[in-house]
Chains A and B, each alone.
Chain A
Amino acid sequence: MAAMKPDFRAAMTWLHDWAGLVTGWLLFAIVLSGTLSVFRPEIGAWMRPEVLGRPADPIVATDAAIRWLSIHAARSPAWYLDVAGDRAPYTQAIWAEGGDYVQRALDPQNGSPAAIRDTLGGEFFYRFHFELQLPYPWGRLLAAAAAMALVLVLLTGIVAHRRFFADFFTFRPGKGQRSWLDVHNMLGVVALPFHLMIAFTGAATLANLLMPWGIAAIYHSDMSAAQQDLNPAAIDRPATGRSGPRAPVLPMLREAQRRFGEAGLERVTVFNPGDVAAVVTMVAGGGDGIGIDPHTLSFDGTTGRILAEHVEGRPAVGLFDFLYGLHVARFAPGVTRWLYFVSGLMLAGVVGSGLRLWTIKRHRRAPGFGTALVERLNVGVIAGTPTAFAALLLANRVLPAGLAGRSALEVRSVFVTWALVLAVGVLRAPDRAWGELLGLSALACLGVALAGGLPRDGVAQGVALVALALACGLAVAAWRSILRRRDP
């Protein structure tokens, strides 16, 4: 038994190192975008300065949005609305137009998108976090595999870094590999419960993509039947093609508000608008618990009559909702959201320091082309990802507000920046590239802090302060990299 322990630990260390390396770059981008997604509505509001700081009544704004959509998107098979609130003072709407889906923020007063710039806002980070800007299901599959890998890497890391509890509060700067190991252990251990929770809940959220056999066996791949069972109040009525009267939405919204109580209204979906088979489905916010989607209400779109109401009480679905709610943190009050944000940054730090540690160790043991390539890619990914994400926010302020297709251009700016930074990382010598690219990241974050002008409200101040703090941290890292190159 005693002889087996070192072998077991060695095996776990091997698994930790290689699983961490193979998925590390992907995990770094996923973790960083997920961390930013904690403040998705706030980032969305910052990226739409036209509505920033304006009050929005959820009922009035949703009614206005539906009235505008009734005129301008009447042919769309469905309208998906995220209701305006304190954190995002606009209605986020998705509808079909010309064979494609359009996503716009609608004015809380008149429901029109005309006065608000076309941007994905924080939605970009949220979607990228689990779809990686890839077509369905490839992005989600990759994200699911990465989440599984993160669980594996964390669990094997607990075995591999056996001394981290003894060195719990220890960071010894200026000692090369030892310092990187200290950073890796410290950031890993201080928020280990968060890291394990976020990895496990992330994997559980996307688990049916990696293990679809349960749904396939029970529902024979009929996803609509599965959805119906998951949410019995979501009425699936096919359009008849016959136009029908539109019942006024305001009384439905008031009724939903009354029934949802403190949970409030979170999402509204109108299926088959204008058709005699129109259905208006409303979903409540989180309420008191951690889980989401506990209460759903469906109305007949032509009469306004309630078709179905469902308050989630099934333990298995409740458990899934709890795990998902824990991951997306919509339940979280302001302080807890900041703790999620800081813990997310720590997880990004664990991944980044782990990648750096791998190359430092390999440089000593097995220098060669593979190690050099990994080191150069490390520079591009670790220093480049913050620059690329900052490019989205900078493009938001640089591109003209009325430019056609500007949200696509903003997204393109992220990937063009990323490609350029990765190319620089691969082509430049790593000891030079670290300082230069971290410096570029610092400048990009400083640009974001200054781009909003003098911050007047809480959201703008928050974005400016976080960007400034990140700029300072990255500048210190860049400066240390430059000093290390001059005086190795």
Chain B
Amino acid sequence: MSLIIALLGLVAVPLLALGTTRQATDLFTPPLDATRCRRLRGTGWSFLLAGFLAVLFSGDVARTLVGWIGQLGLDALVTALACTLVRTRRASGS
């Protein structure tokens, strides 16, 4: 169960990141249109909701929720750094 919850968070965060207007503009040529952004964000939120529901049905809700929130933060940090790396590479033309 923990693995499923972790995977749901791991997928949700990059989807939410790619669905933001800035990343959709900076990371894609041509930029992703508003509909695609909405779909990405919607899918990201769905995974997040599914993860939250999975946490609620896990054996130890409080501990799992604390761990999952921490994992989402780390996912977001890694995603932000990955976005930075891609943006920097694109800017330098490599």
Judge whether A336 and B66 touch: CB under 8 Å. Answer: yes
Assembly CA distance A189 to B26 (angstroms): 20
Judge whether A336 and B88 touch: CB under 8 Å. Answer: no
> What's the least CB distance linking A181 to chain B, in Å?
14
Interface string of B8-19 (1 = CB under 8 A from A): 000000000100
Judge whether A193 and B69 touch: CB under 8 Å. Answer: yes
Assembly CA distance A343 to B70 (angstroms): 7
> What's the least CB distance linking B80 to chain A, in Å?
4
From B18, which residue of chain A is reached at the shortest CB distance? A169
What secondary structure prevails in chain B residues at the interface with A? helix
Q: Any chain A CB within 8 A of the CB of B50?
A: no
Q: State which of B20, B80, B84, B87 has its C-beta within 8 Å of the C-beta of A190.
A: B80
> What's the least CB distance linking A458 to chain B, in Å?
20
Assembly CA distance A290 to B67 (angstroms): 12
Say whether, besides A190-B76, A190-B80, A336-B63, A173 and B70 are in contact (CB < 8 Å).
Answer: no
Assembly CA distance A289 to B65 (angstroms): 12
Assembly CA distance A193 to B81 (angstroms): 20
Question: Hey, which chain B residues are within 8 Å of A340, CB to CB?
Answer: 70
> What's the least CB distance linking A310 to chain B, in Å?
22
> What's the least CB distance linking A481 to chain B, in Å?
20
Judge whether B71 and A169 touch: CB under 8 Å. Answer: no
Assembly CA distance A190 to B74 (angstroms): 7
Question: Hey, which chain A residues are within 8 Å of B23, CB to CB?
Answer: 169-170
From B59, which residue of chain A is reached at the shortest CB distance? A288
In the complex, chain B residues 60-82 whose Cβ is within 8 Å of any chain A Cβ: 60, 62-63, 66-67, 69-71, 73-74, 76-77, 79-81
Q: Any chain A CB within 8 A of the CB of B89?
A: no
Interface string of B41-64 (1 = CB under 8 A from A): 000000000000000000010110
Judge whether B69 and A194 touch: CB under 8 Å. Answer: yes
Say whether, besides A166-B22, A169-B23, A186 and B77 are in contact (CB < 8 Å).
Answer: yes
Listed residue (B26, B60, B71, B80) with the most chain A CB atoms within 10 angstroms of its CB: B80
Judge whether A346 and B17 touch: CB under 8 Å. Answer: no
Assembly CA distance A191 to B71 (angstroms): 9
Question: Hey, which chain B residues are within 8 Å of A169, CB to CB?
Answer: 17, 20, 22-23, 76, 79-80, 83
Question: Hey, which chain B residues are within 8 Å of A333, CB to CB?
Answer: 63, 67
Q: Any chain B CB within 8 A of the CB of A335?
A: yes
Judge whether B63 and A290 touch: CB under 8 Å. Answer: yes
Say whether, besides A169-B17, A169-B83, A190 and B73 are in contact (CB < 8 Å).
Answer: yes
Q: Any chain B CB within 8 A of the CB of A339?
A: yes
Q: Any chain B CB within 8 A of the CB of A200?
A: no
Question: Hey, which chain A residues are within 8 Å of B77, CB to CB?
Answer: 186-187, 190-191, 342, 346
Question: Hey, which chain B residues are within 8 Å of A166, CB to CB?
Answer: 20-22
In the complex, chain A residues 186-207 whose Cβ is within 8 Å of any chain B Cβ: 186-187, 189-194
Question: Hey, which chain A residues are within 8 Å of B66, CB to CB?
Answer: 290, 326, 332, 336
Question: Hey, which chain B residues are within 8 Å of A335, CB to CB?
Answer: 67
Judge whether B84 and A194 touch: CB under 8 Å. Answer: no
Q: Any chain B CB within 8 A of the CB of A167?
A: yes
Q: Any chain B CB within 8 A of the CB of A331?
A: yes
Judge whether B80 and A186 touch: CB under 8 Å. Answer: yes
Judge whether B22 and A342 touch: CB under 8 Å. Answer: no
Q: Any chain B CB within 8 A of the CB of A213?
A: no
From B67, which residue of chain A is reached at the shortest CB distance? A336
Judge whether A290 and B69 touch: CB under 8 Å. Answer: no
Assembly CA distance A169 to B17 (angstroms): 6
> What's the least CB distance linking B85 to chain A, in Å?
10
Question: Hey, which chain B residues are within 8 Å of A186, CB to CB?
Answer: 77, 80
Question: Hey, which chain A residues are within 8 Å of B20, CB to CB?
Answer: 166, 168-169
> What's the least CB distance linking A26 to chain B, in Å?
24
Interface string of A161-173 (1 = CB under 8 A from B): 0000011111111
> What's the least CB distance linking A429 to chain B, in Å?
30
Question: Top 10 closest A-B pairs, CB basis?
Answer: A339-B70, A190-B76, A191-B73, A169-B17, A169-B80, A336-B67, A171-B84, A190-B77, A169-B83, A190-B73
Task: Return 8 A-B CB contacts under 8 Å, by A number.
Answer: A166-B22, A170-B22, A170-B80, A191-B77, A193-B69, A290-B63, A333-B67, A339-B73
